[in-house]
Chains A and B, each alone.
Chain A
Amino acid sequence: ERTLRATVQVAVNHPIGANVVTFADTLRDISGGEMTVEIYDSAQLFKGSEVPKAVASGAIDIGVVLADEYSGTLPAAGVFSVPFLFPSYEVLARAADPDGAFRKTFDDMIASTGTKVLWWQDYGPVQLLSKGEALVEPSQMQGKLVRAMGKPSGDFIDAVGGTPVVIGGSEQFMAYQRGTVDVGMSGTTAVESRKLYEVMDHVTMTNHSLAEFIVVINDALFDALSDEEKAWVTEAAMVAEQSLREQTEANNEASADWLSDGHATVTPLTPEQLAAWQDAAAPAVEVFVRDGGDLGKQLVDAIQALY
């Protein structure tokens, strides 16, 4: 019998946390109770930013972390935040193919830090929020203060002429309410769950990047598992990944519908507007390829081959 400890920075009733519960339940069932997972949710043990190091050092067995948290050490890990690289759920699903070039390159890169990727957790596309008018043209970003989540999203804002201000998730609501920044940035479902629509009345469906979480396990620990255990873990991970991918698309569409149902003005981009945004954001893709080196280039090429 073996117990694995997992740290999650959100609550177990949040889709990302619930998905770890799905993994734990599946693993217990398929291993006939041989393997169990103890889940420590709500960042009781580690904040997201601490997870890469905590898992690599063996302080904790398994951790959930936003892929961008690796982007300091591995600039190419910011690939999910590169603007307009993932145009649709289909492209993401193809990129996630375990035998595909993108997935292999990405997971091997994360593995080089002593953390093996178990599965990906799609949380959905990221949108821009604003007050008074939708942001259909990139020129509307000129000179605006814009919430950024970190370096990769900051590069995007730079590229389109805005000024990035890094604001954490918990201060987001007040920053929008009080106008600390002019433009917000958030996943579609979070606009609903964090009540951001109360303070930002326009959601522009730019879908400019993805909030992609990855679940990582300590490399040495995984190597020490028996072949049977490895098979169980891998299978449970794939079950969890698939179930969330299906839910996420539905959840995001439901949130968008709910928002447009009298809670906010939801504006999709026309193909021409999208093209203008992509052109304006091009310098950020160049920055990514420059910082990410060969790996960055490989990842971008692998994605573009899937369009």
Chain B
Amino acid sequence: MAHDTPGSGPGAQDAPGPWLRVLRLADGLSILAARIAAVMITVIAVILAYEVLARYVFRAPTRWTSDVGTTLMIWLTFLAMAQSLRSGGMIRITALIGNAPPGVRRAAQGFTLLVIGGFSVLAVWLCTGALIESYSMGRRQPTMLQMPEWIAEAPIILGYACLALQALADLIRLPLRPAPIFVSSEEAEARHLSKEPR
């Protein structure tokens, strides 16, 4: 599942030419978003542990930890989404295409990127409309904190926008690079885990 070794992801070197900057921007955004997500997961652990402490030691449970924790979780999931495409970490069945000739592998990867890109654009479009509705209606969650709903909705649009960009960048690079090599994500993770330094 999650790993950093290039599976179906980027190959040897980047495409030359004017696109280079755009492509690097997409990569950079993906990496930055994933880093922010890493900070968030740590923050979630700490605030929830604090909640238990507050309840038992101070007998004063907080009103905000569950809402803030859940919202951060949504942010981190969607922020890290593009990076998981970039690193080839998504779960897929590679049994059939793994051994196919290079042309087929390229076509399969192209199809994947088109579907992901297409769905992401649709998601951004539909969700933006829904977010505007939430915001203008002043929708809030019916919890103790009553957080405005758009706060947990915005990352979904941002995440799919990054993903659409990343899919486009990978699609542009597809013909310029050697055909992608599909190691099943499971195998890749297994190798990654077994080589963990400890």
Give Cα distance in the complex from A70 to B143, angstroms: 10
B95 interface contact, C-beta 8 A: no
Per-position binary interface string of chain A over residues 14-54, scored 1 when its CB falls under 8 Å from any chain B CB and 0 otherwise: 00000000000000000000000000000000000100110
Give Cα distance in the complex from A37 to B197, angstroms: 60
Per-position binary interface string of chain B over residues 46-76, scored 1 when its CB falls under 8 Å from any chain A CB and 0 otherwise: 0000000001000111010010000000000
Instruction: Pick the contact of A165: B61, B133, B134, B137 (CB < 8 A).
Output: B61
B146 interface contact, C-beta 8 A: yes
| Chain A, range 156-173, C-beta contacts under 8 Å to B | 163-166
Per-position binary interface string of chain B over residues 120-143, scored 1 when its CB falls under 8 Å from any chain A CB and 0 otherwise: 000000000010011001111111
CB contacts (< 8 Å) of B138 on chain A: these are: 73
A221 interface contact, C-beta 8 A: no
Give Cα distance in the complex from A73 to B133, angstroms: 12
Minimum CB–CB distance from B153 to chain A (whole Å) comes to: 10
A296 interface contact, C-beta 8 A: no
Give Cα distance in the complex from A52 to B149, angstroms: 12
| Chain A, range 55-88, C-beta contacts under 8 Å to B | 56-57, 68-73, 75
Give Cα distance in the complex from A163 to B137, angstroms: 31
Q: A57-B130, A113-B137 are in contact. Are A69 and B142 (CB under 8 A)?
A: yes
B45 interface contact, C-beta 8 A: no
Residue ID in chain B nearest A291 by CB atoms:
B146
Give Cα distance in the complex from A72 to B152, angstroms: 14
Give Cα distance in the complex from A49 to B141, angstroms: 8
**Secondary structure dominating the interface of B:** loop
Minimum CB–CB distance from A276 to chain B (whole Å) comes to: 24
B142 engages A72 (CB within 8 Å): yes
A143 interface contact, C-beta 8 A: yes
B141 engages A72 (CB within 8 Å): yes
| Chain B, range 28-54, C-beta contacts under 8 Å to A | none
B12 interface contact, C-beta 8 A: no
Instruction: Tell me the number of A-to-B contacts counted with CB atoms below 8 Å.
Output: 54
The size class of the interface chain A forms with chain B is: 20 to 34
Instruction: Pick the contact of A163: B59, B130, B134, B146 (CB < 8 A).
Output: B59
A151 engages B142 (CB within 8 Å): yes
Minimum CB–CB distance from B128 to chain A (whole Å) comes to: 13
Q: Which of B60, B61, B139, B149 counts the most chain A CB atoms within 10 A?
A: B139
A150 interface contact, C-beta 8 A: yes
Residue ID in chain B nearest A69 by CB atoms:
B142
Minimum CB–CB distance from B101 to chain A (whole Å) comes to: 44
Minimum CB–CB distance from B61 to chain A (whole Å) comes to: 6
CB contacts (< 8 Å) of A52 on chain B: these are: 139
Residue ID in chain B nearest A78 by CB atoms:
B142
CB contacts (< 8 Å) of B144 on chain A: these are: 148, 150-151, 154, 164, 166
A145 interface contact, C-beta 8 A: yes
CB contacts (< 8 Å) of B63 on chain A: these are: 154
Give Cα distance in the complex from A182 to B125, angstroms: 47
Residue ID in chain A nearest B140 by CB atoms:
A72
Minimum CB–CB distance from B143 to chain A (whole Å) comes to: 6
CB contacts (< 8 Å) of B66 on chain A: these are: 166
CB contacts (< 8 Å) of B133 on chain A: these are: 56-57
Per-position binary interface string of chain A over residues 160-198, scored 1 when its CB falls under 8 Å from any chain B CB and 0 otherwise: 000111100000000000000000000000000000000
B137 engages A166 (CB within 8 Å): no
Residue ID in chain A nearest B153 by CB atoms:
A53
CB contacts (< 8 Å) of A163 on chain B: these are: 59-61
Q: A145-B55, A163-B59, A163-B60 are in contact. Are A150 and B137 (CB under 8 A)?
A: no
Instruction: Pick the contact of A49: B59, B134, B142 (CB < 8 A).
Output: B142
Give Cα distance in the complex from A151 to B66, angstroms: 13
Give Cα distance in the complex from A164 to B141, angstroms: 17
Q: A53-B139, A73-B138, A150-B143 are in contact. List 10 more A-B contacts (CB 8 A).
A: A53-B130, A72-B142, A72-B143, A72-B146, A143-B59, A154-B144, A163-B59, A164-B144, A165-B61, A166-B66
8 residue pairs, one from A and one from B, having the closest CB atoms: A72-B140, A72-B142, A73-B139, A72-B141, A71-B142, A72-B146, A69-B142, A150-B142
19 A-B pairs whose Cβ atoms sit less than 8 Å apart in the complex: A53-B130, A53-B134, A53-B139, A53-B149, A57-B130, A57-B133, A72-B141, A72-B143, A73-B137, A73-B142, A75-B146, A145-B61, A148-B144, A150-B144, A151-B143, A151-B144, A163-B60, A163-B61, A164-B144
Give chain B's interface residues, CB within 8 Å of chain A: 55, 59-61, 63, 66, 130, 133-134, 137-144, 146, 149
